[in-house]
Structure 1
Amino acid sequence: MATEVYLVRHGETMFNQLNKVQGWCDSPLTVKGINDLKRTADALSQVHFDNMYSSDLKRAIDTVHLMKDANLVSDIGKIKKLPEFREVFFGTFEGDDINQTWDQVAMAAGIGHEDDVTKIINQVGLHDFREAIKKADPRHLAENTEELNKRMVRGIQVLGDLTKNEKRVLLVTHGDFIKTLSIKYWNRSDGKHDIIFPNNGSVTRGILHDDGQFEIVDYNVDAEKL
C-alpha cells in the first residue's frame, strides 16, 4: 500500500527571525510562527491522517502538536519522534550569522566572497557546497553530502517500515532537509541545482510506494491551496 506523506516545515523560530544558522541547535517558535502554523493546522483540520510524526527537535515537536490538536478527523496517539528527519547539521556554524557563514563557505569553495546561498550552490553544485561547509567548519563536524544522503535514505526506510499499513501521514521536519530531500526525489529538480527554500508552515507532499521508492509530488505549497 502506497503512503501519502505530508511533509510540513516547522513554524518560524527565534533563530529564523534573527537570521542565524539553525540545524541541530534549537530555538523557540515565535508568535508569528505560531500564528502562521495555526493557519496551516486549520487548513489541514479536515484532512484525515492515519498517523503523525516529527523530527526529534523541539521546534518540530511543538509544530506537530499544533497540527494534531487542530485536526478534527484524525485519531492520533503518541507522536513518534524520528531523529533521521532532523535538520541538516552545520557543525561549528550552529547559531552563527547566516550571511557570514555562507561567505566563509563560498571562500572555502574557492569562489570568493558571496553570501547568497543559491548563487553559491548554482556555481559549485550541491555536492561541492556541502563539502565546502565541512571544509570551512573549523571542527569539520558539519554534514557533508555523503553523510546527509545516508541519513535521508535511512529516514525514508524507517518511515516506510513505520507506515506499511498507513495511507496518509503527516511528518514535521525542517527547511533545508525538505529542500535537499526534494532535490533528490522531485522530478522537477535536476538533482544538482538549488531550488527555492520551503516556507515555514508549508506542505511538501510525497508518496512512499510499496517497493520502498519515494517521490515528491508537490513542493512548498500553502496548505490552504491543497
Structure 2
Amino acid sequence: MTIVYLIRHGQTYFNRYNKMQGWSDSPLTEQGIADAKRVGEIFKNTHFQYTCSSDANRARNTVRVILEQNKANSPRSIEIPDFRECFYGFFEGMNASEAWIMSGHLAGCHTYNEIINKFNLDKTKDLMHEADPFKDAETANQYWQRIERAFKTLASKIDFSTADPVLLVTHGTTIRSIAGRYGINQGFDITDSPRNGSITTIEINSKSEIDIKDYNKLNI
C-alpha cells in the first residue's frame, strides 16, 4: 500500500462567491494561494515519488505553489484529467444554494446536506442530472466510471516498492465522494465539505483498492 495525500485546491473566486464550480474554472484568490503555501510548508521536506493534479487550472496552480516550497527534489507534477470535479452541466456557475434548491425540490430537499442526510452523496449527482434541462450534469454512474479510471491511472504510475508517498491535488466534491464511498464505515462526517487546502489521507494498492485513513485535516 502507498500513501496518497489528497489535497483540495486553494480557494477560488467561485468558492468565495458560493458558485457551482465543476468543470468551470476560476482563479485562486489571495487566500487560495495562501492555502497552497500552507500545504507546501507542511510537505516541504517530503520526497514524493510523484505529484499530480486534475487538469483544472485551480488544481495545477495549487500543486505548483506547493512544489515551489519542496526541498526534497520531488518531481514535477503530472496531470490526470479524470480527477476533474463532478460536472454540474446547466448549473455550472450558478449560485450553489439556488442550484441545490432546484435540484432537490422534487425529492423534498432544499440543500445539499439535506439530500445527503435523506439519501446519500450519489443521489446529489443523480438529482442534479434530472433537474438539468440539457441532461449534461454527470450522473453518479458516469462520475464513478471516470473516478475509478483515474485511480487505475494513478496506481499504474506508483512504485509500490518504495515508501515515498504521492500527492494529488483535486476537488472538494471529489474528495468528499471518495471519503463517502471508500470510508463509509469509518465515521467521517461527509456533511462537512473538505476545506480548501485540506489534507485527506488514503492508501492505495496495485489493484487500485483504497483505504481512507483521514479526512479534511489541516495538518498530518
TM-score bracket, normalised by the shorter chain, equals over 0.9
1:52-201 matches, cutoff 5 A: 52-77=51-76, 79-108=77-106, 110-111=107-108, 114=110, 116-165=111-160, 167-189=164-186, 194-201=190-197
Name the amino acid aligned to 2:182.
Answer: Y
Aligned-pair CA distance for 1:189: 5.0
Aligned-pair CA distance for 1:127: 3.2
1:3 aligns with 2
Name the amino acid aligned to 1:204.
Answer: T
What is the rounded CA distance, in whole Å, between the counterparts of 1:41 and 1:98 in structure 2?
29
8 Å CA contact 1:6–1:171 kept in 2: the answer is yes
Name the amino acid aligned to 2:200.
Answer: T
State, as a whole percentage, how many aligned pairs show the same letter: 34
Aligned partner of 1:205 among 169, 190, 201: 201
SS in structure 2 at match of 1:149? helix
Poorly superposed stretches of 4+, deviation over 4 Å: none
8 Å CA contact 2:152–2:207 kept in 1: the answer is no
What is the rounded CA distance, in whole Å, between the counterparts of 1:92 and 1:188 in structure 2?
34
Name the amino acid aligned to 2:44.
Answer: S
Name the amino acid aligned to 2:49.
Answer: D
8 Å CA contact 2:25–2:56 kept in 1: the answer is yes
Segments of structure 1 that go 5 or more residues without pairing to the other structure are none
State the TM-score, normalized to the length of structure 1: 0.90
Measured at CA, do residues 178 and 189 of structure 1 come closer, stay the same or move farther in structure 2, by a change above 3 Å?
A: same
The CA RMSD over aligned residues, in Å, is 1.8
8 Å CA contact 1:48–1:168 kept in 2: the answer is yes
What is the rounded CA distance, in whole Å, between the counterparts of 1:52 and 1:204 in structure 2?
15
Name the amino acid aligned to 1:221.
Answer: K
How many corresponding residue pairs?
Answer: 218
What is the rounded CA distance, in whole Å, between the counterparts of 2:81 and 2:195 in structure 1?
21
SS in structure 2 at match of 1:29? coil
Aligned-pair CA distance for 1:187: 4.7
